[in-house]
Amino acid sequence: MIKAFTVTILLLIFCGTIFSQVGGTYHLRDSLKNELVIAKNDTSRVLIMANLASAYNGFNSDTINLYGNKALELAQRIRFFRGEASALNALGGGFQLQGDYPKSLEYLYRALKIAEEKNYVFETAVCYSFIGNGYWFLGDYSKAVDFVKKSQNLFKAIINIYGVSEWMIFNSLVIGQSYLEYDLDSAYTYLLQHYDATLNNRFWHPVALYNLGDCLFRRGDRETSFNYVREGIVGAIENGDHLTEAEACATISGFFKTTQKPDSAIYYANKGLSAANSIRYGLGIYKNSKLLSEEYEQLDVKKALHYRKINDSVNESMYGAKKVQDLQKTLAEEQRRQQQIQNEQIERETRLKQYAFIAGLMIMLVIAFILYRNILHKKKANVLLQRQKEKIESTLAELKSTQAQLIQSEKMASLGELTAGIAHEIQNPLNFVNNFSEISTDLLQELKELRARGKGEREELVEDEILHDIEENQKMITRHGKRADAIVKGMLQHSQKNLGVKESTDINALIEEYLLLAYHGYRAKNPNFSAELKIELDPTLPMVNVIPQDIGRVLLNLYSNALWFVGEKFKSKGDFKSPLDLTSDQPLISLTTKNLTDHIEIRIHDNGPGIPQNISDKIFQPFFTTKPTGQGTGLGLSLAYDIIKAHGGRLKVVSQSGEGCEFIISLNI
Strands 532-536 and 588-595: parallel
Strands 599-606 and 650-655: unpaired
Q: Is 544 exposed, middle or buried (0-12, 13-18, 19+ CB in 10 A)?
A: buried
Q: What is the CA radius of gyration of the chain?
A: 36
Nearest CA to 583 out of 593, 595, 570 is that of 570
Contacts of 146 (CB under 8 A, 6+ apart): 132
Confidence of residue 655 (pLDDT cuts 50, 70, 90): confident
**What mean pLDDT comes out for the span 349-363?**
75
Which H or E element spans position 304? helix 301-319
CA atoms of 118 and 82, how far apart (whole Å): 8
Nearest CA to 616 out of 626, 627, 606, 631 is that of 626
Query: Which whole-number Å values give the CA distances from 31 to 34, 51, 55, 655, in the listed order?
Result: 5, 11, 11, 76
Confidence of residue 498 (pLDDT cuts 50, 70, 90): low
Q: What is the pLDDT of residue 3?
A: 34
Instruction: Look at residue 291 and tell me whether its pLDDT is greater than 60.
Output: yes
Instruction: Look at residue 254 and tell me whether its pLDDT is greater than 50.
Output: yes
- Phi, psi dihedral angles at 594 (to 5 degrees): -140, 145
Instruction: Look at residue 580 and tell me whether its pLDDT is greater than 50.
Output: no
Q: What is the pLDDT of residue 230?
A: 92
CA atoms of 112 and 110, how far apart (whole Å): 5
Q: What is the pLDDT of residues 412-441, one digit of tens each?
A: 444 454 455 555 556 667 776 777 788 888
Q: What is the pLDDT of residues 176-195, one digit of tens each?
A: 889 988 889 998 998 988 88
CA atoms of 586 and 608, how far apart (whole Å): 10
Domain positions in the chain are 1-119, 323-366, 370-496, 503-668
CA atoms of 90 and 148, how far apart (whole Å): 17
Confidence of residue 50 (pLDDT cuts 50, 70, 90): confident
Provide the CA 311 distance to its chain's centre, in angstroms: 18
CA atoms of 619 and 469, how far apart (whole Å): 37
The DSSP secondary structure of 43-103, one letter per residue, reads: HHHHHHHHHHHHHTTTT-HHHHHHHHHHHHHHHHHTT-HHHHHHHHHHHHHHHHHHT-HHH
Most confident of 158-167, 246-255, 487-496, 613-622: 246-255
Q: What is the pLDDT of residue 400?
A: 73
Query: Which whole-number Å values give the CA distances from 576 to 453, 558, 562, 587, in the listed order?
Result: 54, 22, 16, 9
Instruction: Look at residue 204 and tell me whether its pLDDT is greater than 50.
Output: yes
Count CB atoms within 10 A of the CB of residue 486.
15
CA atoms of 214 and 85, how far apart (whole Å): 35
CA atoms of 1 and 155, how far apart (whole Å): 28
The DSSP call for residue 546 is E
Q: What is the pLDDT of residue 604?
A: 92
Q: Compute the CA torsion angle 534, 540, 544, 550 (nearest 10 deg).
A: 0
Q: What is the pLDDT of residues 125-153, one digit of tens each?
A: 999 999 998 898 888 899 989 998 998 89
Strands 544-546 and 503-505: antiparallel
Provide the mean pLDDT of the chain.
79
Nearest CA to 34 out of 14, 16, 20, 19 is that of 14
Is 1-119 assigned to CATH 3.90.1300.10? no
Q: 88-115 burial string, b = 16+ CB within 10 Å, else e?
A: bbbbbbbbbbbbbbbbbbbbbbbbbbbb
115 beta partners: none
Count CB atoms within 10 A of the CB of residue 335.
10
656 beta partners: none
Task: Assess contact for 103 and 130: CB atoms under 8 A.
Answer: no
Contacts of 653 (CB under 8 A, 6+ apart): 611, 616, 619, 661, 662, 663, 664
| % of the chain with per-residue pLDDT over 90 | 13
Strands 532-536 and 544-546: unpaired
In a 3-state reduction of DSSP, which class is residue 15? helix
The DSSP call for residue 200 is T
Q: What is the pLDDT of residue 470?
A: 86
Task: Please report how the helices 164-179 and 121-138 are oriented relative to each other, as an axis angle in degrees rounded to 10.
Answer: 20
Q: What is the pLDDT of residue 7?
A: 34
Nearest CA to 609 out of 581, 652, 571 is that of 571
Q: What does CATH list as the number for 503-668? A: 3.30.565.10
- Phi, psi dihedral angles at 496 (to 5 degrees): -65, 150
**What mean pLDDT comes out for the span 527-550?**
87
Contacts of 443 (CB under 8 A, 6+ apart): 466, 469, 470, 473
More confident residue, 328 or 388: 388
Instruction: Look at residue 648 and tell me whether its pLDDT is greater than 80.
Output: yes
Q: What is the pLDDT of residues 18-38, one digit of tens each?
A: 343 333 455 567 777 778 778
Task: Assess contact for 665 and 645: CB atoms under 8 A.
Answer: no
CA atoms of 377 and 177, how far apart (whole Å): 63
The DSSP call for residue 594 is E
Poorest-pLDDT segment among 258-262, 576-580, 654-658: 576-580
